[in-house]
Amino acid sequence: MTSVTTPGLDNAPTTHAKLLSWVQEVAELTTPDRVVWVDGSDEEWTRLTEQLVAAGTFTRLAAKPNSFLAQSDPSDVARVEDRTFICSVDEADAGPTNNWMDPAEMKSLMTELYRGCMRGRTMYVIPFCMGPIEAESPMFGVELTDSEYVVVSMRVMARVGTAALEAMGTDRPFVPALHSLGAPLDEGQQDVAWPCSTTKYIVQFPEERTIWSYGSGYGGNALLGKKCYSLRIASVMARDEGWLAEHMLILKLTSPQQKTHYIAAAFPSACGKTNLAMLEPTIPGWKVETLGDDIAWMRFGEDGRLYALNPEFGLFGVAPGTGWDTNPNAMRTIEAGNSVFTNVALTDDGDVWWEGMTDDAPAHLTDWKGRDWTPDSAEPSSHPNSRFCTPITQCPILAPEWDDPKGVPISAILFGGRRKTTIPLVSEARDWNHGVFMGATLSSETTAAATGAVGVIRRDPFAMLPFIGYNAGDYVSHWVETGKGADAAKLPKIFYVNWFRRDADGGFLWPGFGENSRVLKWVVERLEGTAAAVETPVGHVPTPGSLDVSGLGMTVEQVESALAVDKDEWRQEIPQITEWFEKFGDKLPGTMWDELEILKSRLDG
Ligand code: GTP
Ligand code: SPV
Ligand code: MN
């Protein structure tokens, strides 16, 4: 019997019966050479990173302490949305935005893929906790994986190892998350630097709170605590238990008067969350501190306010565009070392480089595919979805309360996307339901964070299109219900922003990055009732004088163009929104149709 002979299986550092039997069952199915229980120690990190260097997966960076570069298989660089499934018992519970397959059918199909899939490899057991282990109800998970890259990355992104396992005790619930690269090794077979399979499945079983992932080593497909657990599975838990699991950053904003506000913001993948979360304000006296850059879990506190918590432990940020000019705090975070970079370029002195890091590119690089690169090369040196994976605790502007299990009270929620036209720089919702309408109709150009075409406008409700673990109509209803059950005066105010509007020449109308602090200032002044706004069909937008553009060097016309609500442009949105809403059938709450009618009548008025 494999179960008896697999080394490592018998000396488990836990007596958690359910965990033990699941580990045994998976080991019997996948037949790894050995089982290793991840303890999360420095020694383990050293051993695994050395092993990854020896295997050719990692290059140790001479120029940054304890940091590594991984260059993936060129086909395994992003989330695979077309291979991602919500396998609910009832198909209606996955529709209309998710791929679905009957759970039994999916399990039998994947069981055959998993059979023997870890042959020649090690199966790692990674106990982890999303959010603080000291939380009242810690959110445990256990990932089984045959990838050392996944183990070291999970150690950066989540609280892993002995502390999590001990807190799980003998019987506390956990989300089982099974991952395999799908690349077994035969005896004597030479491994490749980035093993993966051409067959990929990223599967959530929402009723069972279970995750099965196969074939990819890329972050969002393989670090299962992140999108699979903290968004897809957690959104189902949140629906059932009355909270929210969202694709949002969390930041703390302090005004020159020392008033603080916490702000959460949902932008689609590669649309600016990490950058806003770490923003360095350009306006004097304002301060931003970071609490999270990708995921927020939000629950009502006893005081009736909505509190947000970042369940992660690290940053998995888009590299290109991250530079000393645009996001100096991210640069400082990675300078501290202890980071894994994937699919960026290597400099000749053993550092990383990517487009946008510095104004001038180095004269010579090794590009993400391992080829010589010079500024004359036809292709960028780094993949557009290349990433840095780095401990959030290294962020120099991390708010001290970032890991408080009770979270922080949110004053404002921003929705935003990447739109060249139509959407003004900032607008404020009239009320909660109008804000939910803004979220439900959010649109953005697709980015390299997922495989497929880039730059195509699509609806991305609440920036959660690829991450809602259940029916998207029910999800919108959940947002409406969240507002209904609350004291309206204590609910966060909702805003919609767009940093990506273009001028006639195709350039950005708004300078973005640190200058976005001007928009945050207007948001806070709206909360405090001190900033003026004009009412437009799509909400309140700043009056020309109420947005602080001092010292920015923009002309009045440029500011007006950034803020413009063009009725003709908006009328063109109506058929698209109508078509979008029709997809939801009777699952869409009637209030969304009401909001659409209000918009239409205001555009015609
Ligand atoms: P995920 O990690 O994929 O969820 O993405 P994210 O929302 O955290 O996106 P991120 O902040 O990493 O930004 C993605 C890209 O947008 C980077 O290339 C940034 O340089 C660019 N970007 C961010 N903020 C701005 C901005 O205000 N203006 C412009 N023009 N670009 C921006
Ligand atoms: C995203 O795609 O939204 C990310 C990166 O934050 S990943 O974790 O790979 O999904
Ligand atoms: Mn994300």
Q: Are 101 and 88 in contact (CB under 8 A)?
A: no
271 is catalytic: yes
**Residue 406 annotated as binding?**
no
- Decide whether any atom of ligand 1 lies within 6 Å of the 366 Cβ: no
pLDDT for the residue 485: 87
Strand-strand pairing, 387-391 and 340-342:
antiparallel
Q: Is 376 annotated as a binding residue?
A: no
Q: b/e per residue, 457-475, with b = 16+ CB within 10 A?
A: bebbbbbbbbbbbbbbbbb
pLDDT at 560: 97
d(CA 431, CA 261): 19
The C-alpha atoms of residue 103 and residue 106 are separated, in whole angstroms, by 5
Decide: 224 and 291 in contact? Cβ < 8 Å.
no
CA–centroid distance, 445 to ligand 3, in Å, is 15
Instruction: Walk across the sheet containing 352-353 and list its strands.
Output: 352-353, 345-347, 365-366, 372-373
User: What backbone phi and psi angles, to 5 degrees, belong to 221?
Assistant: -90, -20
Atom of ligand 1 nearest to the CA of 320: 18
The number of helices, as runs of H, and strands, as runs of E, in the chain is: 16, 30
Q: What is the pLDDT of residue 386?
A: 98
What is the reported pLDDT for 1? 42
Q: Is the preceding peptide bond at 132 cis, omega within 30 degrees of 0?
A: no
Residue nearest to atom 9 of ligand 2 (CA): 220
Quick one: how far is CA 183 from the chain centroid? 27
C-alpha neighbours within 13 Å on the C-beta side of residue 123: 35
Task: Give residue 327 CA to ligand 1 midpoint distance, Å.
Answer: 10
> Smallest Cα–Cα separation from 56: which of 46, 44, 69, 66?
69
CA–centroid distance, 487 to ligand 2, in Å, is 33
Has 385 been labeled as part of a binding site? yes
Question: Ligand 1 in contact with 267 (CB < 6 A)?
Answer: yes
The DSSP letter of residue 163 is H
Q: Decide: 238 and 131 in contact? Cβ < 8 Å.
A: no
Judge whether 460 and 444 are in contact, CB under 8 Å: yes
For 66, 106, 174, 206, the CA distances from 134, given in Å and listed in that order, are: 28, 36, 15, 25
Pocket test for ligand 2, best of 153, 154, 227 (most atoms within 8 A of CB): 227
Other residues' Cβ atoms within 10 Å of the Cβ of residue 173: 12
- Cβ–Cβ < 8 Å for 230, 316: no
Residue 582 backbone class (left: φ over 0; alpha: ψ -120 to 50; beta: rest): alpha
Catalytic residue among 87, 196, 228, 271: 271
Nearest to 71 by CA among 319, 380, 367, 389: 367
Sign of CA dihedral 323, 325, 328, 332: positive
Task: For ligand 1, atom 15, name the residue with the nearest CA.
Answer: 270
Ligand 2 contacts (CB < 6 A) are 79, 219-220, 226-227, 269, 294, 316, 449
Read off the tokens for 166. 């001990």
Tell how far the Cα of 355 is from the centroid of ligand 1, in angstroms: 13
Annotated binding-site residue? 219? yes
- Two structure tokens written together for 511: 């300078």
Q: Give the number of whichever ligand sits closest to the CA of residue 79.
A: 2
Residue nearest to atom 1 of ligand 2 (CA): 269
Report the pLDDT value the prediction gives residue 8, as an integer from 0 to 100: 87
| CA 218 to ligand 2: nearest atom | 9
Domains, the chain, with CATH or none: 3-56+81-241 (3.40.449.10), 244-312+399-604 (3.90.228.20), 315-394 (2.170.8.10)
515 marked as part of a ligand binding site: yes
Output the six-digit token pair for 82.
């077309």
**Closest Cα to atom 23, ligand 1: which residue?**
272
Give the CA distances from residue 380 to residues 58, 169, 412, 590, in Å, rounded to whole numbers and listed in that order. Answer: 21, 49, 37, 47
Q: Residue 2's pLDDT band (boundaries 50, 70, 90)?
A: very low
Q: Which of 230, 275, 388 to mutate to test the pocket of ligand 1 (most atoms within 8 A of CB)?
A: 275
Q: For residues 501 and 559, is the Cβ–Cβ distance under 8 A? A: no
pLDDT tens for each residue of 406-457 = 999 999 999 999 999 999 999 999 999 999 999 999 999 999 999 999 999 9
Q: Is 339 helix (H, G, I), strand (E, B) or coil?
A: coil
Ligand 2, atom 4: nearest CA belongs to which residue? 269
Q: In a 3-state reduction of DSSP, which class is residue 314?
A: strand
pLDDT of residue 457: 96
The answer to whether residues 113 and 384 touch, using CB atoms and an 8 Å cutoff, is no
Q: How far apart are CA 119 and CA 254, in angstroms?
A: 54
**252 C-alpha vs ligand 2 centroid, how far in Å?**
22
Q: Residue 474: CB within 6 Å of ligand 1?
A: no
Of 320, 310, 358, 279, the closest CA to residue 520 belongs to: 279
Does 418 count as an annotated binding residue?
A: yes
Query: Burial letters for 29-39: b for 16+ Cβ neighbours within 10 Å, e otherwise?
Result: bbbbeebbbbb
Residue 290 has pLDDT above 60, yes or no: yes
**Residue 272 known to bind ligand:** yes
CA distance 331 to 358: 11
The DSSP output letter for 513 is G
Residue 18 has pLDDT above 80, yes or no: yes
The predicted-structure confidence for 203-260, as pLDDT tens digits, reads as follows: 999 999 999 999 999 999 999 999 999 999 999 999 999 999 999 999 999 999 999 9
Does residue 293 line the site of ligand 1, with CB under 6 A? yes
| Separation of CA 233 and ligand 1 centre (Å) | 25
Q: Is 508 in the pocket of ligand 1 (CB under 6 A)?
A: yes
Q: Does the model's pTM come out above 0.80? A: yes
| Arithmetic mean of pLDDT, 45-59 | 98
Pairing of strands 139-145, 84-86: unpaired
pLDDT digits (tens, 9 = 90+) for 116-147: 999 999 999 999 999 999 999 999 999 999 99
pLDDT, mean over the chain: 97
